[in-house]
C-alpha cells in the first residue's frame, strides 16, 4: 500500500510546483515554505531533496532547459542540414515556447531569478554561448545569422515582459518574416 515515491518523481513534482508558483505569483513568492506546500510535502522533506534554496533553483533551471533543448533537438531533426536550419529550429522552438501563454510569465520570473542566483545565470550564459556557436555554424553569414537570432530573442523578450508585444496577426507576420529571412544566406539590399 502507498509505496514510497522515488527521489526523481518527487523532484519532478517539486519543479512543477515551483513553476506554478513562479507563474502565478512571481519570484518573491517562491519561498521554501510555499514550494513545500505546493508540492505537497513538508519543508523538511523539500530540504531533504535539495540541501538549500540555491540547489533548488539550479535544479529548476536545468529542468526547464532540458525541456527546451529536447524540443530544439526535435526541430533540428526536422529541419535537416539546409543552410540556416539550426537557426530556424531555434526560432521555432523559442516562439513556440513563448507563445504558450502560461510560459510567458514563468519565463519572466525565471529571468528575474537569474539576477538573484548567479549560478543559474551562469548556466544560462553557457547555454547561449552554445546556441550562438550553433548559429554561427548555420552555413549563412554569421553577422546575418546573429542579427536574426537577436530578432528572435527580442520577440521573446517583448512577449515575456509584455513590452508592446505584437498582436496575433502581427506575430504571424513577423514569424513568417523571420523564417523567410533565415533562408537567405546574407542581407540583401
Contact of residue 123 among a copy of itself, DNA, none (CB under 5-8 Å per partner type) = none
Distances 120 to 84, 100, 114, 115, 136 between C-alpha atoms, Å: 29, 23, 6, 9, 25
Half-sphere exposure for 97 (CA within 13 Å, toward CB): 26
In the complex, least distance from residue 162 CB atom to DNA, rounded to whole angstroms: 24
Please select the residue that binds a copy of itself; options are 13, 37, 49, 146, rule is CB under 8 A.
146
Tell me the window of 11-19, 22-30, 65-73, 84-92 that interacts with a copy of itself (CB under 8 A).
22-30
DSSP category for residue 166: -
Q: Which residues have C-beta within 8 Å of that of residue 60, sequence separation ≥ 6?
A: 15, 18, 19, 110, 120
d(CA 29, CA 131): 31
Residue 119 in contact with DNA, rule: CB under 7 A: no
Please select the residue that binds DNA; options are 16, 20, 47, 111, rule is CB under 7 A.
47
Tell me the window of 40-48, 54-62, 96-104, 124-132 that interacts with a copy of itself (CB under 8 A).
124-132
Interface with DNA (CB under 7 A): 1-7, 10, 28-33, 41-45, 47-49, 51-54
Amino acid at each position: 500500500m502507498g509505496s514510497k515515491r522515488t527521489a526523481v518523481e518527487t523532484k519532478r513534482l517539486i519543479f512543477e510546483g515551483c513553476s506554478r508558483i513562479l507563474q502565478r505569483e512571481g519570484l518573491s513568492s517562491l519561498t521554501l515554505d510555499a514550494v513545500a506546500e505546493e508540492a505537497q510535502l513538508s519543508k523538511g522533506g523539500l530540504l531533504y531533496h535539495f540541501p538549500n534554496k540555491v540547489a533548488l533553483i539550479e535544479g529548476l533551471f536545468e529542468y526547464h532547459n532540458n525541456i527546451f533543448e529536447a524540443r530544439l533537438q526535435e526541430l533540428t531533426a526536422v529541419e535537416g542540414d539546409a543552410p540556416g536550419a539550426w537557426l530556424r529550429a531555434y526560432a521555432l522552438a523559442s516562439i513556440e515556447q513563448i507563445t504558450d501563454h502560461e510560459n510567458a510569465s514563468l519565463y519572466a520570473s525565471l529571468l528575474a531569478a537569474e539576477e538573484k542566483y548567479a549560478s543559474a545565470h551562469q548556466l544560462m550564459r553557457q547555454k547561449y554561448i552554445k546556441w550562438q556557436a550553433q548559429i554561427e555554424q548555420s552555413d549563412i553569414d554569421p553577422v546575418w545569422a546573429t542579427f536574426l537570432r537577436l530578432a528572435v530573442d527580442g520577440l521573446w523578450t517583448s512577449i515575456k515582459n509584455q513590452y508592446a508585444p505584437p498582436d496575433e496577426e502581427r506575430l504571424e507576420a513577423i514569424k513568417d518574416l523571420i523564417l523567410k529571412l533565415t533562408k537567405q544566406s546574407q542581407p540583401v539590399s
